[in-house]
Amino acid sequence: MKVRKAVIPVAGLGTRFLPASKAIPKEMLTIVDRPTIQYIVEEVVASGIEQIILITSAGKSAIENHFDYDSALDHALIEKGKTRLAEEMNHLSNLIDVVSVRQKKPMGLGHAIWMAREVVGNEPFAVLLGDDLVLSEQPCLKQMINLFNEVQESVVAVQRVPQKETCQYGIVEGTLQSKRVHKIERMVEKPAPGTTPSDMAIIGRYILQPDIFDILGTTTPGHGGEIQLTDALLALTHSRGMYAYEFEGTRFDAGDKLGYLKAIIAFALRHPDVCENFSDHLKEIAQTL
**pLDDT tens-place string over residues 165-223:** 888 888 999 999 999 999 999 888 888 888 888 999 999 999 999 999 999 988 777 66
How are the residues of the chain apportioned to helix, strand and coil, as percentages rounded to the nearest 5?
Answer: 40, 25, 35
Dist. CA 87–CA 85, nearest whole Å: 5
- Angle between helix axes 275-288 and 257-268 (nearest 10 degrees) is 120
In the chain, domain spans: 5-288
Q: What is the percent of the chain with per-residue pLDDT over 70, rounded to a whole number?
A: 99
In CATH, 5-288 is 3.90.550.10: yes
Interval 243-285: pLDDT, tens: 999 999 999 999 889 999 999 999 999 999 999 999 999 999 9
In Å, how far are 105, 149, 182, 244 from 178, measured between CA atoms? 41, 15, 7, 11
Amino acid identity of residue 107, one-letter, is: M
**Does 132 score more than 90 pLDDT?**
yes
- 5 versus 87: the higher-pLDDT residue is 5
Mean pLDDT of the chain: 91
